[in-house]
Chains A and B, each alone.
Chain A
Amino acid sequence: MMAALRHFFSGLTGRLLMSAVLLSIAALISGSTVLSFVFRTYVVSDVDTRLELFLDTMVGISEISPDGVIRFTRPLSDQRFSTPYSGLYWQISEQGQEAFRSRSLWDFELASQPEHRSFSIKYMEVEGPDGQSLRMAERDIILPEGERIFHYHVAMDTAEINAAIQQFNLWLMGALSVTMLVVTAALVLQVRYGLKPLRRIGENLSRIRAGKESRIEGSWPHDLQPLAAEINALMEQNEQLVNRARTHVGNLAHAVKTPLSIIQNDVEGQNGERLVRIRKQTRLIREHVDHHLKRARIAGGGSGAGLPIHERLSKLVRAIEVMTSDRGIMFSLDCDESLRFDGEKEDFDEVLGNLIDNAGKWAESRVSVTAERIIEPNQRSMMKICVEDDGTGVPESELDTLFERGKRLDELVPGTGLGLAIVRDIVEMYGGQAVLETSEYGGLAAILRLPAKDA
């Protein structure tokens, strides 16, 4: 689980999502802090305004009675001033006198420091009755009736404010959480949509590896175009390297062959321990050269348009017919003109050339080559090619061993014995199959399954 998560977040999608989500969380947290602060400021200033209003009213209705006691000409309209511990309080203090208080304060007295004179309004937080914490406005007032200074207080319980702020924060969190979810979902979509061309390049690459295409083609977003171009250039370079390596191997092998012919001819038919050894070693060199040269040539890839096999088979049959013409063997070819091999011409020629040539060497009087498409539902398009002769054939028990490297049934028939091994290697490289059976004509039947190109 952890490993899977780590894997996801180390990927491109994970990284993009992770960074975007973290950034948006940070933005939302700072945004909500600011919003919450602004709301609190607004609520507090609203309370302050109301407190100032009460204070002004109190001053407006204050008078000093003839017996020198401060009193109101009429009661304050808000009922909460008369309900004990209601959360709304007033108090008028005078230095040296008992404070004149609202009924709501009951037996509590607001902390007052009348000695600190302030004729402008001041706000503060103080402790109230019943453990309440209060927002209080206070101001010193000199009433017109005399030279006495009264200290006016109006206080309100902040529980109400805090409740409002809490409510607000709750809503805010809710709204922000929803926003987060929506934004994350949008990000996922965005990342998927944004990375889609990358995925397409990936799919394209795997098609190229499967040999279905040779280059990344089509139009790409302008910022991916350089990547596509670079990949194409890299593939071209790679192809050139492979071709160069192949050419070098080929050149080396071909250059070696003429001197090898000369050595072989010089020591041929002569006796003596050393000459026999030289002969054996030159034959080994020759076999190695042939083996590696042939394998280096295998292309093993699909070809764009497919190879029309009727033409190739006719040419091969005609060529082998010419080479065996003194033996008067009948070659027959039965192949659909539209059949195409999904691969390289050189590989096809190598496989069928070897098989038909073998059949020609062993045949008594006839060689038959047939090719047909195999219909298999939901499968890759395949074809079956059958090369048969009417020679002496091979015992069933030895059929399987024929594909082994260097295996030759009869050392007298010319050939290096690599033919069938290379046939199998090439066929397998294309994901096909090569099977040997006994032909209905009595000789050997080589049956191939090779990938076909859809018409």
Chain B
Amino acid sequence: MRVLIVEDDKTLAGQIEKSLLEAGYAVDVAYDGEDGHFLGDTEPYDAVVLDLGLPSMDGQTVLKQWRTNDRKMPVLVLTARDTWTDKVEGLDAGADDYLTKPFIVEELLARLRALIRRAAGQTTPKLECGPVMLDTRNGRVSVGGTPIKLTAQEFKLLSYLMHHEGKVISRTELTEHIYDQDFDRDSNTIEVFVNRIRKKLNADIVHTIRGLGYRLEWIEQA
């Protein structure tokens, strides 16, 4: 899962970034409206944390332009302006949730998880596929009740696939959603990760669709 943070206060942005990284997200940070707008317009994000009071281009405008350009990723608006009139305006501009400052990062994480799940059409915080279960609240993965240890990259990959269960995901899409923009991308490593995951899960749920990519699906063995 790849998230964009647009927040002009570097310390706060750093705190959010750190917590998101720890929670297993790929994170990009922009410190002003224009940069944020550009990234959101060009890169595929699974969610955006957008501060409304930004230099060079305010958050409301950024959000409106994204929605005009048909960018549909879920956006969590972050602001010190906490009147209901502000909230209504923010949500009118196309935000999916609203968090007022001051806030605790844990709350932001919870809201973000809910947003991503909702956008992927999932309704519960626990994603399941056959015996494999991923709890988005604490990032734990288990197979048939036994906890499995995954590296950060493996977790990101599996999490993205679990959110999009049953859909064919290309390698490029996977690359785009599990690495931030500064990462030196090599789509061959995806194959390495997928193999490691298959080995660790010991359950046949990640299927290779030749020439297209991967599909996560549990097929009952007769």
> Which positions in A face B, CB cutoff 8 Å?
253-255, 257-258, 260-262, 264-266, 268-269, 282, 286, 290, 293-294, 297, 315-316, 318-319, 322-323, 325-326, 345-346, 349-350, 352-354, 414
Contact = CB atoms under 8 A, between A and B. Distances in A.
Contacts of A258: 9, 12, 80, 101-102
A315 B82 CA distance: 16
Interface of B: 9, 11-12, 15, 19, 53, 80-85, 87-88, 91-92, 95-98, 100-107, 114, 117-118, 123
Contacts of A262: 9, 11-12, 15
A424 to B, nearest CB: 16
A414 B100 CA distance: 11
Given A254-B80, A326-B123, A261 B102 contact: yes
Contacts of B104: 264-265, 268
A78 B97 CA distance: 125
A322 B94 CA distance: 10
B91 A349 contact: no
A268 B107 CA distance: 12
Contacts of B96: 322
A268 B118 contact: no
A254 B102 contact: no
A161 to B, nearest CB: 94
Contacts of B95: 322
A323 B91 contact: yes
Given A257-B80, A258-B80, A264 B102 contact: yes
Given A318-B91, A322-B91, A326-B117, A265 B84 contact: no
Contact of A315 (B92, B103, B118): B92
Given A258-B9, A262-B11, A319-B91, A350 B101 contact: no
A354 B100 CA distance: 14
Contacts of A323: 91, 97-98
B101 A260 contact: yes
B88 A260 contact: no
Given A315-B92, A316-B88, A326 B102 contact: no
A345 B86 CA distance: 11
Nearest to A258: B9
A345 B84 CA distance: 10
6 contacts: A260-B102, A261-B12, A290-B82, A319-B92, A326-B117, A346-B85
Contacts of B91: 318-319, 322-323
A353 B80 contact: no
B84 A354 contact: yes
Given A257-B101, A319-B88, A414-B107, A346 B83 contact: yes
Given A262-B11, A323-B97, A325-B118, 13 more contacts: A257-B80, A257-B102, A262-B12, A268-B104, A286-B102, A319-B92, A323-B91, A346-B83, A346-B84, A346-B85, A349-B88, A350-B85, A354-B84
Nearest to B9: A258
A268 B106 contact: yes
Contacts of A268: 104-106
Contacts of B9: 258, 262
B80 A253 contact: yes
A253 B79 CA distance: 12
Given A260-B102, A261-B101, A326-B114, A315 B83 contact: no
A41 to B, nearest CB: 88
Nearest to B15: A265
B173 to A, nearest CB: 24
Contact of A326 (B11, B103, B118): B118
Closest 10 CB pairs of A and B: A353-B84, A254-B80, A349-B84, A257-B101, A261-B102, A260-B102, A319-B91, A257-B80, A349-B85, A315-B88
B31 to A, nearest CB: 13
B178 to A, nearest CB: 24
A352 B87 CA distance: 12
A350 B80 contact: no
Nearest to B18: A265
A253 B53 CA distance: 14
B10 to A, nearest CB: 10
Chain A CB within 10 A, most for which of B19, B84, B98, B106: B84
Given A254-B53, A325-B118, A352 B84 contact: yes
Contacts of A269: 106
A112 B200 CA distance: 162
Nearest to B81: A254
A319 B94 CA distance: 10
Chain A CB within 10 A, most for which of B9, B15, B102: B102
A282 B98 CA distance: 22
A319 B102 contact: no
